[in-house]
């Protein structure tokens, strides 16, 4: 890797805020996979681990620090073999099933609809529920929505009341299947569209509850799938907007250093493997641009949202763990991959309305790792927590004044990422140095306003492979940041940030516009 320390210079016009960065692009994902639900979120009411109605108290307390905006459940691949009625009623009477996708283990259905909605209540988050299109029926979808959201004496409303929930819940996000091109049924796009229109039609809005229906979309850069969805979902709607039947379509994108057969090791990797990972992560900008262009052709007024409801790093499982449980450690490299994604998400704020990292606890790029009663926060957790200032804030465009880039083996990639937003008089700045070996500087020319009360934190370790364990839970954790230099001038200020190698910095300040 050949890199030289230098100063990137960018211009930020404080008085020209752009589109709102939806907080829902910072969403999360909880699937019945490995130890995400059982041992992660759910330990049962008889557990010695402190819990609220069976839900782990320490996990909830940690995740509340992230201000999780939405939580996707029950899958993933699991969603398309999950029959929701098996997960209601007295737990001892619930039928069991085989989780064929993830470890071929027996699922006891102790964590079902009521438990999930209780979890959302404890987290103060909005539920994102995925319906079973692959092996379920339109009736199942229709009745689940009725069970969740209808408030009178309808059959499903009465059934919900019998199980202890008299009042309906509020459910906004509702997915119509998952990966129908793969584990969700191995369908063609045309086959899926026909089913999706049916399921979405019978996923009714009851009372004051209005669903945001999300059609299951493409893998990576399969723009043909997106075009098929946009073309067929708009057919026969007459003068109605495409959003009358679907409010969004999704796609999935994962990051690794190798290939699907050998994705790479979570904690032991070379500098070449590191840069391969960053280069793969940065493909998200190209892919978002591609899907947006296809959607714009059919929906120029952007009435349909784009949802990246599965993303994150995917490594070979940790040695000695069940290969079907997808348990992996989480390093500073993973945190920087998240920073790369956030940067892209902000740039596409007009079209991208929702995103969900995979997954929240003990699976893939997790926020929290548990081992019995032990709990560890990952570097990725900290990047999410340090970015909460961007939730529902207005994006401020960051315009380069000097070229930014570095040469790594066979790759060309930006070595710094800077994002700025404003909300309720508060300015939030996040900056990442992707270079694992060299400190970098970024100078922000802040024009059209003055700032005061600048404070910040920095996340970095001694190496990009550093990670947290029960024995060293603070190996990678935020510390006060003292690398900022602010020089005011007549109608603005020059802010210079010194960024350690492989670091993520978050700052906030009061904004006083001229």
Catalytic site includes residue 385:
no
244: pLDDT confidence band, cut at 50, 70 and 90? confident
CB-based contact 68:27 (threshold 8 Å):
yes
SS3 340: helix
Q: Give the residue from 391, 411, 437 where a domain finishes.
A: 391
Q: Looking at the structure, tell me whether residues 184 and 235 fall in a common domain.
A: yes
Count of CB atoms situated within 10 Å of the CB of 3 = 17
CATH number at residue 205: 3.20.20.80
User: Which pLDDT score is estimated for 233?
Assistant: 79
Q: Looking at the structure, tell me whether residues 85 and 211 fall in a common domain.
A: yes
Separation CA 190–CA 194 (nearest Å): 6
- Name the active-site residue from 31, 140, 179, 385: 179
Q: Looking at the structure, tell me whether residues 372 and 416 fall in a common domain.
A: no
User: Which pLDDT score is estimated for 514?
Assistant: 55
Instruction: Please determine, for residue 402, whether its predicted confidence score (pLDDT) is greater than 90.
Output: no
Rounded to the nearest 5 percent, the helix, strand and coil shares of the chain are 25, 30, 40
Q: Looking at the structure, tell me whether residues 195 and 230 fall in a common domain.
A: yes
Catalytic site includes residue 126:
no
Q: Give the residue from 359, 391, 423 where a domain finishes.
A: 391
Separation CA 54–CA 42 (nearest Å): 6
| Contacts of residue 415, Cβ cutoff 8 Å, sequence gap at least 6 | 3, 404, 405, 406, 433, 434, 435, 440
User: Which pLDDT score is estimated for 241?
Assistant: 56
User: Which pLDDT score is estimated for 243?
Assistant: 60
User: Which pLDDT score is estimated for 406?
Assistant: 46
CATH number at residue 492: 2.60.40.1180
- Mean pLDDT confidence for 120-129: 98
User: Which pLDDT score is estimated for 8?
Assistant: 86
User: Which pLDDT score is estimated for 2?
Assistant: 37
User: Which pLDDT score is estimated for 229?
Assistant: 95
For residue 108 the two structure tokens come to 């006891």
The string of pLDDT tens digits covering residues 39-67 is 999 999 999 999 999 999 999 999 999 99
Outline where DSSP puts E strands in 80-125: 97-99, 105-107
Instruction: Please determine, for residue 169, whether its predicted confidence score (pLDDT) is greater than 90.
Output: yes
109 domain residue, yes or no: yes
Provide the number of structural domains found in the chain. 2
1 domain residue, yes or no: no
1: pLDDT confidence band, cut at 50, 70 and 90? very low
CB-based contact 213:246 (threshold 8 Å):
yes
User: Which pLDDT score is estimated for 381?
Assistant: 98
237: pLDDT confidence band, cut at 50, 70 and 90? low
2 domain residue, yes or no: no
User: Which pLDDT score is estimated for 512?
Assistant: 85
Separation CA 93–CA 110 (nearest Å): 10
Q: Looking at the structure, tell me whether residues 192 and 286 fall in a common domain.
A: yes
Q: Looking at the structure, tell me whether residues 356 and 483 fall in a common domain.
A: no
58 domain residue, yes or no: yes
Q: Give the residue from 368, 391, 414 where a domain finishes.
A: 391
Q: Please give the residue range of the domain that contains residue 207.
A: 23-391
- Name the active-site residue from 31, 310, 385, 414: 310
406 domain residue, yes or no: yes
401: pLDDT confidence band, cut at 50, 70 and 90? confident
């Amino acid at each position: 890797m050949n890199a030289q320390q230098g100063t990137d210079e960018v211009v930020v016009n404080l008085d020209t805020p752009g589109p709102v960065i939806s907080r829902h692009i910072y969403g999360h994902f909880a699937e019945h996979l490995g130890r995400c639900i059982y041992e992660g979120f759910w330990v049962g009411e008889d557990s010695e681990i402190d819990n609220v109605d069976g839900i782990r108290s320490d996990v909830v307390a940690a995740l509340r620090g992230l201000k999780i905006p939405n939580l996707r459940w029950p899958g993933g691949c699991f969603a398309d073999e999950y029959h929701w009625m098996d997960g209601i009623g007295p737990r001892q009477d619930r039928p069991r099933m085989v989780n064929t996708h993830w470890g071929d283990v027996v699922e006891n259905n102790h964590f079902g609809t009521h438990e999930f909605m209780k979890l959302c209540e404890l987290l103060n988050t909005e539920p994102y529920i995925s319906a079973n299109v692959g092996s379920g029926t339109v009736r199942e979808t229709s009745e689940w929505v009725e069970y969740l959201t209808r408030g009178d004496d309808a059959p499903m409303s009465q059934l919900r009341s019998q199980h202890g929930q008299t009042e309906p819940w509020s459910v906004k996000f509702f997915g119509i299947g998952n990966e129908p091109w793969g584990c969700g049924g191995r369908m063609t796009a045309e086959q899926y569209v026909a089913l999706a229109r049916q399921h979405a039609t019978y996923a009714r809005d009851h009372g004051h509850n209005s669903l945001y229906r999300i059609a299951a979309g493409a893998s990576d850069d399969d723009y043909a799938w997106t075009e098929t969805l946009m073309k067929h979902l708009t057919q026969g709607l007459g003068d109605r907007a495409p959003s009358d039947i679907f409010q969004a379509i999704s796609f999935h994108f994962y990051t690794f250093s190798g290939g699907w057969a050998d994705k790479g090791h979570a904690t032991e990797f070379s500098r070449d493997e590191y840069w391969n990972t960053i280069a793969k992560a940065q493909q998200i900008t190209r892919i978002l641009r591609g899907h947006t262009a296809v959607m714009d052709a059919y929906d120029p007024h952007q009435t349909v949202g784009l949802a990246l409801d599965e993303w994150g790093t995917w490594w070979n499982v940790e040695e000695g763990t069940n290969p079907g449980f997808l348990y992996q450690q989480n390093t500073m490299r993973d945190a920087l991959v998240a920073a790369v994604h956030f940067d892209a998400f902000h740039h596409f704020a007009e079209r991208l309305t929702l995103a969900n990292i995979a997954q929240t606890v003990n699976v893939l790029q997790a926020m929290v790792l548990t081992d019995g009663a032990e709990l560890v926060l990952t570097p990725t957790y900290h990047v999410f927590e340090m970015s909460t200032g961007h939730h529902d804030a207005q994006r401020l465009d960051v315009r380069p004044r000097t070229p930014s880039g570095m040469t790594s083996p066979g790759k060309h990639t930006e070595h710094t990422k800077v994002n700025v937003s404003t909300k309720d008089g508060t300015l939030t700045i996040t900056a990442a140095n992707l270079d694992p070996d060299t400190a970098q500087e970024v100078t922000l020319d802040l024009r059209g306003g003055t700032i005061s009360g600048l404070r910040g934190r920095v996340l970095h370790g001694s190496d990009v492979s550093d990670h947290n364990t029960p024995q060293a839970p603070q190996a990678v954790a935020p510390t006060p940041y003292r690398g900022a230099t602010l020089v005011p001038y007549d109608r603005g200020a020059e802010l210079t940030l010194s960024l350690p190698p492989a670091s993520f910095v978050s700052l906030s300040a009061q904004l006083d516009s001229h």
